[in-house]
Structure 1
Amino acid sequence: MAAPPLKLDLWTLVLLVAQWALFIGNIGVAILQPGELWMHVLVGIVPIHFAFTIWHEAAHGTVSNRRWVNHVVGVLGMLPYMTPYFIQRHVHLDHHRHLNEPGQDPNEVYAGGPLWELPLRYWRLVSAARKAVADDPRTSAMKRSDIFFLLLVLGIWGAAIITGTFTALFFAWLLPFVIAKAVMDVYINYLPHVGLPPDRYRGTRVIDVSWLTPLVLAHNYHAIHHLWPAIPWHGYKARFEKKQSELREKGVPIEKRVFAARAGRSRG
């Protein structure tokens, strides 16, 4: 039986191309003809910000109807984020399976307390990583890919130290990573889930704030993703507008302010 025609989500592929153009271009300029350091930091934040959307789409198979295409896009999208794709994919899908379940949802590290305390909870990522590895569904090929990925990242940083380009990479890559990671943890890991119960409809909120949508690539409609994970990121807003009445009837939390969410504010 012939395989179905190849399907691709062009918007995510455009994002991947833009990510790598900015990532390589910014680092190249920082090494060969450096400008103001703050400019390299600001530009460097963008490809790392794009990374979540790219690997996230790949993890849910929305980039293509070919699994290998999703995997390739996921691995490529993850390099600026310096995190192995397949173990991150496992952790993320575990989050979907155990949404807001105490002691089971890996996202509890981020959403399990007040916002000010979030940096103090990062140490819990160590135990979360141990749990992910202990309950590891990756194939041997996936594990080899993740190991090679880690060695590649370490090799890049080792080469930067040896060649004297560490400072350029620090301002064009490492510092932007730290900043982007902190911001993404707020808008994608904390705000959508904090204070909500382990419930399919009431466990993830929508933050219906128009100016936020382009800045976070529509992830303020995160409840749409949890309810319809096969919908790509650029379809979230349209689905929300189409299903808004139904969502309200089902009890999906819909906020009109960015920081309306609070820890311990469960909608039971």
Structure 2
Amino acid sequence: MTARRSGPETVGGVEWPTVGLAAVIYGLWAAATYFHDRLPWPVLVVVGGWAIAWHGSLQHEIIHGHPTRSRRLNTALGFAPLSLWLPFEIYRQTHQAHHATEQLTDPAHDPETRYLPASASRLRRAAAALQATLLGRLVLGPAIEIGGFWLDEIGRVGRCEPGRLALWLGHGLAVGLIVAWLWRVCHMPLWLYGLCFIYPGAALSLLRSFAEHRADPTPRRRVAVVERAPILGLLFLNNNLHAAHHDRPGAPWHSLPAFYAKDRERLLRANGGLVYDGYGEIVRRFLFRRHDRAVYPASDGASA
């Protein structure tokens, strides 16, 4: 991980833009849950989904060592399981492994890949086929993603993998606090929270990840860039500039646009020009058309 650089936004080793952002995210979530019965459901879906996806972006920032030099302080700022289904420590482990491998997108090495090995079961291939288009990813993807993750984790706990049960017990305690807030303070049904917060939040996160990687014989050409995304770029904390993030994974979110603008030519030359003109282009190209084949190419070549 690249060391953080000091700058006007960093005082005493603390990146205050990220601290302020965290306060905004938790404040938005708390307000949306507390006043949920006063908001029309379309507004609740937008605000709730945004809050959950934004918090996921904050967690991603924390995994990369922000906003302080203390891992304990950073974890305390980001571990709260607002999405309920994903333990922060599992996200940390898989994402760090994703950045550690040089074989991005390869299911044998990259735990965050969307590609399947050739040995994948018919069930996994069917699930991938349902999410091959952007429409399928947004509508069905959250249910498949969460359900598949839980089945896999049940298997890990059942096999008594070291530390897995303790990890889930700690996550369960944290989830209990979130549920207590929703039930006892906000009087919010869990089904409503699931439909208006968790599901749309997961869908927004899947929008970001849908086209950010693509199999290619050259590893550097497996990381995309989505330009001209002022609104969703804020939601994703500039992780849409994904090639820049992989090139400098330790850079804070608020410095990525300037870094990308300065090194755009080099980054796009390195990634083979894998760039999209905003998420509108991704919607136009892939709403009803698959982004790539589901099975990872055996020859490590690009898929058609």
Which bin holds the TM-score, normalised by the shorter protein? 0.7 to 0.9
> Could you tell me how far 1:80 is from its partner in structure 2?
1.6
Kept in 2, the 8 Å contact 1:87–1:146? The answer is no
The answer to whether structure 1 residue 207 and structure 2 residue 226 are counterparts is yes
Q: Which residue of 1 aligns with 2:8?
A: none
**Where do 4+ consecutive residues of structure 1 move more than 4 Å?**
110-113, 130-138, 143-146, 158-164
Query: Which residue, out of 47, 50, 53, partners 1:49?
Result: 53
The answer to whether structure 1 residue 152 and structure 2 residue 174 are counterparts is yes
Q: Which residue of 1 aligns with 2:297?
A: none
Query: Which residue, out of 93, 98, 110, partners 2:96?
Result: 93
Q: How many Å separate the matches in 2 of 1:91 and 1:24?
A: 28
Counterparts of 1:175-190 in structure 2, within 5 Å, are 175-187=196-208, 189-190=209-210
> Structure 2: any 5+ residue segments left out of the alignment?
1-10, 117-127, 294-300
> Structure 1: any 5+ residue segments left out of the alignment?
none
Kept in 2, the 8 Å contact 1:109–1:125? The answer is no
Kept in 2, the 8 Å contact 1:57–1:233? The answer is yes
Change (3 A) 1:158 1:14: closer
Change (3 A) 1:180 1:243: same
Q: Which residue of 1 aligns with 2:302?
A: 266
Amino acid at match of 2:244: I
Change (3 A) 1:217 1:250: same
Q: How many Å separate the matches in 2 of 1:46 and 1:245?
A: 32
Kept in 2, the 8 Å contact 1:53–1:233? The answer is no
Change (3 A) 1:64 1:144: farther
Q: Could you tell me the TM-score, scaled by structure 2's length?
A: 0.69
Counterparts of 1:6-155 in structure 2, within 5 Å, are 6-30=12-36, 34-76=38-80, 79-82=81-84, 83-98=86-101, 99-109=104-114, 114-115=132-133, 116-118=135-137, 119=140, 122=145, 123-126=147-150, 129=153, 144=166, 147-154=169-176
Q: Which residue of 2 aligns with 1:197?
A: 216
Kept in 1, the 8 Å contact 2:57–2:236? The answer is no
Aligned residues: 254
Kept in 1, the 8 Å contact 2:217–2:302? The answer is no
Three-state SS of the structure 2 residue aligned to 1:207 is strand
Question: CA-atom RMSD, angstroms?
Answer: 3.6
Q: How many Å separate the matches in 2 of 1:172 and 1:156?
A: 11
> Could you tell me how far 1:21 is from its partner in structure 2?
0.9
Kept in 1, the 8 Å contact 2:49–2:202? The answer is no
- Structure number with the higher helix fraction is 1
Percent identity (aligned): 20
Q: How many Å separate the matches in 1 of 2:182 and 2:235?
A: 32
Three-state SS of the structure 2 residue aligned to 1:255 is strand
Q: Which residue of 2 aligns with 1:217?
A: 237
Kept in 2, the 8 Å contact 1:30–1:172? The answer is no
Kept in 1, the 8 Å contact 2:33–2:182? The answer is no
Q: Which has the higher contact order (CA 8 A, sep 6+)?
A: 2
Kept in 1, the 8 Å contact 2:107–2:113? The answer is yes
Q: How many Å separate the matches in 2 of 1:125 and 1:18?
A: 29
Change (3 A) 1:95 1:88: same
Q: Could you tell me the TM-score, scaled by structure 1's length?
A: 0.77
Change (3 A) 1:55 1:135: farther
Change (3 A) 1:164 1:92: closer
Q: How many Å separate the matches in 1 of 2:43 and 2:226?
A: 30
Three-state SS of the structure 2 residue aligned to 1:219 is coil
Q: How many Å separate the matches in 1 of 2:58 and 2:15?
A: 11
Three-state SS of the structure 2 residue aligned to 1:197 is coil
CA-to-aligned-CA distance 1:81-105 (integer Å, 9 cap, x gap):
2222111100111222342113432
Q: How many Å separate the matches in 2 of 1:30 and 1:36?
A: 8
Per mean C-alpha deviation after superposition, the further-off stretch among 8-17 and 125-134 is 125-134
CA-to-aligned-CA distance 1:153-177 (integer Å, 9 cap, x gap):
146547866899243x544565222
